[in-house]
């Protein structure tokens, strides 16, 4: 048992080095099937590494947003951070949108809500999976710029699983042409 605990500690330390806080990491896969496979594998790896409580999911399909709850309740569903300076104006405490049902949000607002819900809940890793290319490049760029700004005020890291090669080209310092294997055996050495 002691060996397994030590192995998990090493795994967590090495994962934190691999995906530094305050960054956006771009992990390339060639197609949507590979993207779904990588997402599923990473979720299993985080679970076996005891990190599920430190992981938030962001997806245009499986949002985890409860439409019948208010935007505010969805935002704070994973806990409430004392520091919310990273929240944009439309999600701050005085915003009227917070009291609306989450069902009123459009697709991009839902992505933003999931992202900020992860930050408010102090999640260390935010896993964004989905095809960024379904959005206008300007919208994608705006989201990533906003995410980068917000991440600078946290200890979180955004992992973007993408089929869009241009995101890697634009961000070579945090680009993974070959996403790392996150299995316990691969990382906890």
Spatial CA neighbour of 185 closest among 42, 5, 3, 7: 7
Residue 132 CA, distance from chain mean position: 13
Q: What percent of the chain has pLDDT over 90?
A: 65
- Model-level pTM? 0.92
In angstroms, rounded to a whole number, what is the distance separating the alpha carbons of residues 136 and 129?
17
Residue predicted with more confidence, 83 or 132:
83
The pair phi, psi for residue 22, each rounded to 5°, is 70, 15
Question: Angle at which helices 107-120 and 137-151 pack, to 10 degrees?
Answer: 10
Task: Return the CATH number of the domain spanning residue range 2-66+123-187.
Answer: 3.40.50
Tell me the mean pLDDT in the region 116-129.
95
pLDDT the model gives residue 189:
64
In angstroms, rounded to a whole number, what is the distance separating the alpha carbons of residues 25 and 161?
9
pLDDT over 60 at 2, yes or no: no
Tell me the mean pLDDT in the region 33-51.
94
In angstroms, rounded to a whole number, what is the distance separating the alpha carbons of residues 80 and 129?
24
Asked if residue 91 lies in contact with residue 116, where contact means CB atoms within 8 angstroms, the answer is yes
Domain extents in the chain:
2-66+123-187
Confidence at 100, pLDDT banded by 50, 70, 90: very high
Confidence at 141, pLDDT banded by 50, 70, 90: confident
Instruction: Look up residue 129 and give its DSSP letter.
Output: E
User: Taking all residues of the chain, what is their mean pLDDT, rounded to a whole number?
Assistant: 89
């Amino acid at each position: 048992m002691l060996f397994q605990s030590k192995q998990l500690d090493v795994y967590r330390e090495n994962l934190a080095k691999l995906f530094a806080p305050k960054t956006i990491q771009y992990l390339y896969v060639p197609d949507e099937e590979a993207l779904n496979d990588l997402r599923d594998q990473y979720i299993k790896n985080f679970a076996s590494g005891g990190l599920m409580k430190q992981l938030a999911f962001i997806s245009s399909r499986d949002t985890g947003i409860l439409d019948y709850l208010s935007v505010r309740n969805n935002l704070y569903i994973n806990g409430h951070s004392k520091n919310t300076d990273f929240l944009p104006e439309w999600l701050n405490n005085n915003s009227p949108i917070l009291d609306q049902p989450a069902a009123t949000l459009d697709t991009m607002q839902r992505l933003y809500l999931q992202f900020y819900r992860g930050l408010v809940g102090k999640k260390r890793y935010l896993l964004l999976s989905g095809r960024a290319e379904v959005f206008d490049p300007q919208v994608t760029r705006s989201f990533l710029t906003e995410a980068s700004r917000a991440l600078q005020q946290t200890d979180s890291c955004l992992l973007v699983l993408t089929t869009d090669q241009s995101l890697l080209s634009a961000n070579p310092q945090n680009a993974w042409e070959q996403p790392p294997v996150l299995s316990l055996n691969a990382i906890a050495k």
